[in-house]
Structure 1
Amino acid sequence: MRSVIPIIEQLDRALSELAINHPLNGRIALILVDNGLELMCHLKCTDLLSDDRRRSPRGLTQEQRNDARGRAFDRKIGLLQDLGHIPAEQAQAITTLHGYRNQLYHVGLRDDPVIGQLAHLYFHFAAELLEPLLGTQRHLRWEPEIITDAARRLLPELATAKRYGAKVDIAGLRARWVAECPPPPVPIEQALSRHLLARVDEAEASFSIIATGRSGTDDPTATLRTVQLEADTLTAIRRHRRDRDKQLKAKGIEPKPLDDEQLAMARGTRVLEDLNARLLPNWTPKHPILPFNSWRKQATSISTKRKASIALGSFDRIRREIDQLEDIIAEPIEDMYGWHQYLEDVAMDNR
C-alpha cells in the first residue's frame, strides 16, 4: 500500500455507515474500520522496515522484520505494541474486535444487536491511532490514479497540491472525524450489558432442555458436569488420535479415519468416564456449578464500567464462555429431541 488515500476513503465511508442505526450498516462499518486499521498497521510496518534499513546497526530483530513483512494481523499488532506504537489496552481491544470481523466473514454473527456499538468503538480506536501510525502529516507519493476527485473531496488540501508536494493533514483529519462521528444510540457499556443478559437467558433456556435428563428428575448440576466431561473427553480422544496418526504417517502407515458418528454414540455411557480417567486424570469441570446467575451478575456490572475498552474485555470473556457452553450442549440437545421423537412414535404405535 503506497498511499493513505484508500485508508481514508474506507474510514470515511465507515463514518457514514455509523450514522445509520441498523445492524447491516453496523456490519459494513465494522468491516471497513477493520480493513482500514489493518492497512494503517501495514503502512506503519512498511515505514519501520524502511527506517531500519537505513540504520547501522539495525534496530529490529529478524523475527520483528518477519512480523512486519508478514500478513498475520495479530503478529503486526503485537510488534507495534512491543515497539510502543499501540498501547497494550488498545492492542487487546483491537484483537478482540478483529475477531468479530472474522465472525462476520466466516461464520456469521450471533451478536447483531451490538454490532453497531462495536463498530463505533472500533472507529474511535482507529481514529486515536491515526497519528501514532501515520504521523501528524503524511507526504504522499504522486499517484494520479489514486488522487481522484473523490479523494480531493475528503482532503481539500490535495486540490492545490503540487506534484511531489502532496501532504495530508492527519491530525486535522482525526479531529474532524471525531467531531463528526455520531454517538451510538445507546452507550456502549449499557448495550453490551443488555445484550449479554439476553444471551445468558437464551443459554439457560437451551440448557433447560437437557437439565433434568431423559428421566426428568436428574440434577441439573450433575447434567452440566456430564456434558462437560463428555465434550472434553471427546476433544482429548481426537487430539490423541491426531498425534497417533502423525506417528503412523511418519512410519509410512496410512491411518484409518476416525468415525465421528460412532464416537458420538459413546455419549451417555461409562465408556467416556473411563477414557476421561485415562486421558485426563486431573480433569475438573470448567463450570462446577450452574454459571447463569454468575454470568448475570457480571453482565450487569458491565454497564458500570468507566472505560469502553474494559467493558469490551469483560463482555467478550463472558460471551466466549456462553458460546463454549452452547457448543457443547448442542449435540445433547439434538439427542434429547431425538428421544422425545422416539417417545412420540412409540405412543403413536400403541394407539
Structure 2
Amino acid sequence: MRVVIPVAEQLDRAGRELADVRPVSGRIALILVDNALELMCHRKAEDILTYRSQGKALAAGQRADLRGQDFNAKIAVLRALGHVPQDQAQAAATFHRHRNQLYHVGLRDDPVVGDLARLYYELTVGLMPGLLLAERHLQWEPSLLDDSARRLLPELETNTRYRNKVSIGDLAGRLLAALPPSRNIPGAFQAHLLTRIDLCETDFKIIAGGRSGKDDPDETLRRVQLEHDTVAAVLKKRREENRALRRAGLPERPIDEEMLSLARGLPIMVEANARLLPGWKPAYPKRPFDLWRKQSRAVGRETLGLKAFERFDRVIRQIEGLDAFMAEPIEDMHGWNQHMEDVMMDSR
C-alpha cells in the first residue's frame, strides 16, 4: 500500500497533465513519472535486500547501490539482475537526466517536454509488473483508501483486511488506457532538433570570423574547442596541486580565472594544450550542422518512440556540447563589439 497507492496516484496525475498541451503540464508530468519510477525501483531494491536469497549473493558495491539514493546506480543493479531490460534501463537513465535538466539548465526543450513525459510514462507503466510483481498484497491502512485510490484500484471496494491483493498488471492497463491520444512524437522531435540546430548555427556565426571578421570558420571552431579544453585542464591541474598543498599543510595557490580567460586567442594557450593534453583532438573536427540536420530527419522517420528518443537524445547532446564550447567566446565577442563601439563613440 505504501508504494502502490503513491505510484498509482502520481502516474494518474501525470496522465491528466499530459492531456494539457502546455509545456508547464509536460514538465509536471515528467517530474511525476520520474518520481514514480524512483519509488518503484526503491521498492524493488528493498524486496531484493530483505526477502530474496538473491540479495545475499550480491557484491558489497551492489548492495550499497541498492540502499543508496543514486538513481542511475540503482537501476544499473536492477538491470544487471535482470529486473529491467538493458534498453529500457538506458532509456530510463536518459529520461532521468532530462528531468534533472529542468532544474539545472532551463527550459530549452519545452516544445517536446510533453512528448518526453509521454514516452517516459509508457516506459514506467510497462515496468510496473516487473518491479512491483504481478500481484501485490497491500498493507491494510483505511486512511489511505480515499476515492482516488478506489478509482485506480477498484479491488479495494471488496477486499478485506486479510484478502487484500491487487493486480499490478490490471492497474498498468488502466493507466495506459486513460492516456490521451498521442501526436506524432518522432515528427515533433525532428522539428525541435531542426530549430535547435538553426539556433546553434546562428550562434556560431557570431564568432565564426573572429574579431577581424576574416578568420576561417573551421579554424575558429577548432580554436574555441582547444581553448575550452585547455582551460578545463589548467583548472583541473591547479585543483590537484591545491589538494596536495592542503595535505602538506601549505597554503593553496589561487588561480585567477579571469586572467586565464584573457589568454584565449594567444599562443600560450596552444602551448599549454600541447603540454597538458598531448594528442588532443577536437570533438567537432568540422562544422556539424548539415550532418545534424540529416540525423534529425532520420529521427522523424522512426516508427518506435523509444528508438526516436534515443536518436533525439544523441543529437541534442551534440548540440549542447557545441553550445558549451561557444558560450564564453560568444560572450567575449559581445564584449569586444561593445568595446569597439565605445572607442568609435569616444573618437567622434
TM-score by structure 2 length?
A: 0.96
Question: 1:229 and 1:159 mapped to 2: Cα distance?
Answer: 66
Question: 1:62 and 1:139 mapped to 2: Cα distance?
Answer: 30
Determine which of 163, 167, 173 is the counterpart of 1:175: 173
Question: 1:167 and 1:213 mapped to 2: Cα distance?
Answer: 68
Give secondary structure in 1 for the equivalent of 2:57: coil
Question: 1:97 and 1:34 mapped to 2: Cα distance?
Answer: 8
Measured after TM superposition, the shift of residue 160 of structure 1 is: 2.0
Measured after TM superposition, the shift of residue 268 of structure 1 is: 1.2
Q: Structure 1: where are the runs of 5+ without partners?
A: none
Q: Which residue of 2 aligns with 1:58?
A: 56
Q: Which residue of 1 aligns with 2:26?
A: 26
| Residue type at the aligned position of 1:19 | A
Conserved? CA contact 2:226–2:282, under 8 Å: yes
Q: Which residue of 2 aligns with 1:38?
A: 38
Question: 1:2 and 1:66 mapped to 2: Cα distance?
Answer: 23
Measured after TM superposition, the shift of residue 251 of structure 1 is: 0.7
The Cα RMSD (Å) is 1.5
Give secondary structure in 2 for the equivalent of 1:229: helix
Measured after TM superposition, the shift of residue 153 of structure 1 is: 2.3
Determine which of 121, 124, 132 is the counterpart of 1:123: 121
Change (3 A) 1:138 1:56: closer
1:108-146 per-position Cα deviation (integer Å, ceiling 9, x unaligned): 221000000000000000111011111111111112332
Q: Which is worse superposed, 245-254 or 118-127?
A: 245-254
Change (3 A) 1:300 1:57: closer
| Residue type at the aligned position of 1:10 | Q
1:72-131 per-position Cα deviation (integer Å, ceiling 9, x unaligned): 111111011011111111111100000011011233221000000000000000111011
Conserved? CA contact 1:45–1:68, under 8 Å: yes
1:196-238 per-position Cα deviation (integer Å, ceiling 9, x unaligned): 1111100000010010111111110000010000001001101
1:196 aligns with 2:187: no
Conserved? CA contact 2:84–2:127, under 8 Å: yes
- State the identity as a percent: 52
| Residue type at the aligned position of 2:12 | D
1:217 aligns with 2:211: no
Over 4 Å off, 4+ runs: none
Question: 1:4 and 1:100 mapped to 2: Cα distance?
Answer: 25
Question: 1:79 and 1:144 mapped to 2: Cα distance?
Answer: 35
Q: How many residues align?
A: 348
Measured after TM superposition, the shift of residue 167 of structure 1 is: 1.8
Question: 2:57 and 2:268 mapped to 1: Cα distance?
Answer: 57
Determine which of 81, 84, 93 is the counterpart of 1:83: 81
Q: Which is worse superposed, 140-149 or 250-259?
A: 140-149
